[in-house]
Structure 1
């Protein structure tokens, strides 16, 4: 089996990387960063998000494994002291995996240029100094004129990340869909929005027509895609379920709801 390692640049993460490489020496495991079958992410969830983006064009050929050395490991099943067990799982790999849906974001600019991105967690659009105004279309039907700080569009597996902090719902990652949550929307006698998260299915799409993109920040899995000093004027954003999926090697992929409990509730006294 061919494998690669994507590492957060901390002392512990680099140490774990060296231990994996040492344990794999002399076995049937082959280190190959260009064409891996399994990518081992060492760090936190942010490291894994970056690993997915690095291998975006090869997602149908790769399974990911996460070793948790950071403060949050929602996608990571392994701890640093379990290197030997992980290498043993790689050597006895049967090809099993669990798949999560991704979000596709298409940004269209006034000059006609188009950018496409995929997210494993979420995309956000915010205005850093004024009210964001955008017409929201669902399946090409005008749904509302949004006014507020911004919008967060998340995947089911990403619903426990930034989406949750802005009041979004937690979705079972086996649902093939996505979610739109509001950030500090304006709701008064003059302006109204739905004021609650909206969950959409496989064949739905959301289109945002931006009223004025000055001071607007667009992100995709925490990476800034556009800021207000961008030369291009953002005209429209479109979101839907991506045709791609992200796959995790199912050596001992823990229950999603157990992770939710452990991360946000903890053990009962």
Structure 2
């Protein structure tokens, strides 16, 4: 089994990465950052998101393991002081895994170019200045005329991130769906939105067509794919749907989704 390590440059993460490398060699396991079977990320959720995009073309053959060296993350199950326990799990690996849905993005630019992207958490569309205007289609049928700060399209695991801050629902990671949430929508006689998050099934897709009134501007729409800015030509449309690809985690002790949500946002304890 080949093991890779993807770390952020912080001192704590560097220390943990060096300890991992030494212990992996001592267990006669193979270190391979090029084409790993298991990829250990050291840092936090941001580090894991970076690793996901770095190894995006190898998702079918990689299982991820996250070590957090700061605050508790949604994708990182191990603490920085648990390296020995993790090494023991690696040594006794039997291929166990759990997988989560991903988001497919098809971006069409006004010059005719197309680009496909994959997101683990979410994608957002916003305007540089002022409010964003957009036609929103579901399965190629016009659904609403949007006016507001922007739109957020998220996966179930990404529903706990920016989507939640925008008023979206937290969705079980076992559901293979996409969520669209409005960011500060404006409703009047011309522009009417549902005013609620919507859930898109695996057989459906949503297409967002930004309306750019000033044709002289090169591009006044900001788009993100997870923590990355998508910078290119003027955007004509973006089509979102649940991906056929999934991200897999080595299920040595992968934290149950709702337990993770409760511990991260509520910290509830039973009443005696």
Report the TM-score when normalising by structure 1.
0.96
In the alignment, which residue of structure 2 is the partner of 1:171? 171
* TM-aligned CA deviation for residue 52 of structure 1: 0.5
Which among 210, 215, 224 is matched to residue 219 of structure 1?
A: 224
Q: Which runs of 5+ in 2 are unaligned?
A: 213-217
> Given that residues 219 and 235 in structure 2 are in contact (C-alpha distance below 8 angstroms), is that contact kept between their aligned partners in structure 1?
no
Say which SS state the counterpart of residue 181 (structure 1) adopts: strand
> Given that residues 102 and 245 in structure 2 are in contact (C-alpha distance below 8 angstroms), is that contact kept between their aligned partners in structure 1?
yes
> Given that residues 130 and 215 in structure 1 are in contact (C-alpha distance below 8 angstroms), is that contact kept between their aligned partners in structure 2?
no
> Given that residues 176 and 202 in structure 1 are in contact (C-alpha distance below 8 angstroms), is that contact kept between their aligned partners in structure 2?
yes
d(CA) in 2 for partners of 1:211, 1:179: 22
User: Segments of 4+ in structure 1 off by > 4 A?
Assistant: none
In the alignment, which residue of structure 2 is the partner of 1:40? 40
* TM-aligned CA deviation for residue 41 of structure 1: 0.6
Say which SS state the counterpart of residue 87 (structure 2) adopts: helix
1:15 partnered with 2:20 = no
* TM-aligned CA deviation for residue 189 of structure 1: 4.2
1:143 partnered with 2:143 = yes
In the alignment, which residue of structure 1 is the partner of 2:215? none
> Given that residues 103 and 118 in structure 1 are in contact (C-alpha distance below 8 angstroms), is that contact kept between their aligned partners in structure 2?
yes
Alignment of 1:31-110 (within 5 A): 31-110=31-110
1:174-232 CA-partner distances (Å, limit 9, x unpaired): 10011000000002344310000001111110001121184211000110012xxx4x2
1:247 partnered with 2:248 = yes
Q: Which runs of 5+ in 1 are unaligned?
A: none
Report the TM-score when normalising by structure 2.
0.95
Aligned length: 265
1:126-163 CA-partner distances (Å, limit 9, x unpaired): 11311111100001110001111000000001100110
> Given that residues 110 and 236 in structure 2 are in contact (C-alpha distance below 8 angstroms), is that contact kept between their aligned partners in structure 1?
yes
Say which SS state the counterpart of residue 253 (structure 1) adopts: coil
d(CA) in 2 for partners of 1:176, 1:170: 13
